[in-house]
Amino acid sequence: NGSQTAGGSGESSAAGQTSSALPMSGSQSHVTTKVTATAHVKVEVHTPLP
């Protein structure tokens, strides 16, 4: 429930399912990758400034 409320997007649901299937270590790795991807997207979006 918490993860859904925090994300509220399909990606959040997928991440939750993957983390459940993968072990603690794998889950942490997945989270780190997700954070990096999000940061990259944010940077890319912020880079093209007028």
Residue 6: what pLDDT?
Answer: 46
Contacts of 4 (CB under 8 A, 6+ apart): 12, 13, 16
State residue 28's pLDDT score.
60
| Structure confidence by residue, pLDDT tens digits, 1-50 | 444 444 444 444 444 444 454 555 555 666 666 767 676 666 666 666 66
Alpha-carbon span 31 to 50, nearest angstrom: 32
Q: Would you say 35 and 44 are in contact if contact means Cβ atoms under 8 Å apart?
A: no
In eight-state DSSP terms, residue 48 is S
How confident is the model at residue 15, as a pLDDT? 46
What domain range includes position 15? Answer: 2-46
Q: Looking at the 3D structure of the chain, how many domains does it have?
A: 1
